[in-house]
Amino acid sequence: MIDYNKAFDASVQASADAGDPSGSSRPRYQQWAAQLHQYADEISDEAVAEQADKLAVLADQTVGVVERVRAEPTELDSQAMPRYAQDYARVGQEFHRNLVALDQACPGGS
C-alpha cells in the first residue's frame, strides 16, 4: 500500500513536470483511492488495518478536493487563497501523518 502510494505520487509528479495534466486527472485519483481501499481491505492485522482504513478514507477526501479544484475557475480575482487550497493542504498533511503511522504500524516498518 505504501509502495503503491509512492509510485502514484512519483507518477503524478512526473506528469506535472512534463506538463501532462492527465497524470493528475480525476479518474486517476479515483483509481488510486479505490486501490488504497482494496489494499486496506486485505489487511488482517487490526492495528495495521485501522491505519490503512484511515488512509483510504483520506484518499477519498483527496479525490473530493481534486474534483473541487477542477470545477473552480483557474483565475483568481483576489489575493485570497481559495478554500480548496486550504482543504487540500489540510487533507495532505493528515494523509502524510497517517501514512507515517501506517508505516510504523506495519511489521518491519520504520
With CA atoms as reference, report the closest residue to 29 among 73, 68, 64, 1: 64
Q: Please write the tens of the pLDDT for every residue from 11-60.
A: 999 988 888 877 778 899 999 999 999 999 999 999 899 999 999 999 99
pLDDT, residue 110, reads 56
Query: Does position 82 have pLDDT exceeding 80, yes or no?
Result: no
Structure pTM? 0.85
Query: Does position 96 have pLDDT exceeding 70, yes or no?
Result: yes
What is the C-alpha separation between 19 and 43, in angstroms, rounded?
A: 36
Angle at 24 between CA 93 and CA 72, to 5 degrees: 80
Q: What rounded mean pLDDT belongs to the chain?
A: 88
Cβ pair 106, 48 in contact under 8 A: yes
